[in-house]
Amino acid sequence: MTRYAVLLRGINVGHNHRIAMADLRAALTDAGYGNVATLLQSGNVVLDSDRPAAELRPELERLLADRYGFDVPVMLRSRDDLARIVAHNPLGGIATDGSRYFVSFAEVATPLDVTVDSADRYVTDGLETYLWCPDGMRDSPLMKALGRIKNPPPSTMRNWNTVVKLHAMMD
C-alpha cells in the first residue's frame, strides 16, 4: 500500500468548480481508498492505494469527472516523493515566508528558461519547480513570466506551508 498526496488543480477557486471536502473524502473512501484525509479547501488529499501512480491518476480523474461533472487534473506524489521535496528545499536559505514560497508540481519535467530582474528566484528539480516570490505572487515578475509560457504541461502549485503540512499528514 502506498500513501499518496493527491493535488487537485483548479478547484474551489472563486465560485468555479466547487467541491466540498467532506463530500470528496466520502467519495474517495466509498471508492475504496484508505485513510483519506483532506487539508484546507483547495484540493489537498492524502490517501492510501495499492495502485501505482500511473494507474491511480487517471482513475481519480475519471471518478472526479463522473461525480462532479467537470474535469479535475490530478497530480500525485508518494510519501517518499514528498519527503524528498521537503528535504531538498533548495531555496530554504532565502525563502523566509512559507506563504510566499511555492512548489509547482508538474506531470512531466519542464526545464524553465525565465529571466526575471527582481528578487524572485526559482529552481527546477525533476517534476517540481520551487519558486520564491518575496513580494507575493500577485505582482511577481516571475509569475508573470511563467504565465506567458505557451502550452505549459499540466501542473498545480502549493505554498510551502501547505507542502510541509501535507508531508506531516502522510506519517
Taking the CA atoms of 20, 24, 30 and 34 in sequence, report the sign of the dihedral they define. negative
pLDDT at 167: 97
Q: Does position 139 have pLDDT exceeding 90, yes or no?
A: no
Q: Does position 110 have pLDDT exceeding 80, yes or no?
A: no
Q: Where are the domains of the chain?
A: 2-80, 81-169
pLDDT at 31: 97
pLDDT at 59: 98
Tell me the average pLDDT across 26-46: 94
pLDDT at 118: 84
* Residue 161: Cβ-neighbour burial (10 angstroms; 0-12, 13-18, 19+): middle
Give the tens place of pLDDT for each residue, 47-58: 999 999 999 999
**What is the full DSSP assignment across 34-54?**
EEEEEETTTTEEEEEESS-HH
pLDDT at 33: 98
pTM, whole model, 2 decimals?
Answer: 0.92
Higher-pLDDT residue of 18, 61: 61
Fold of 2-80: Alpha-Beta Plaits (3.30.70)
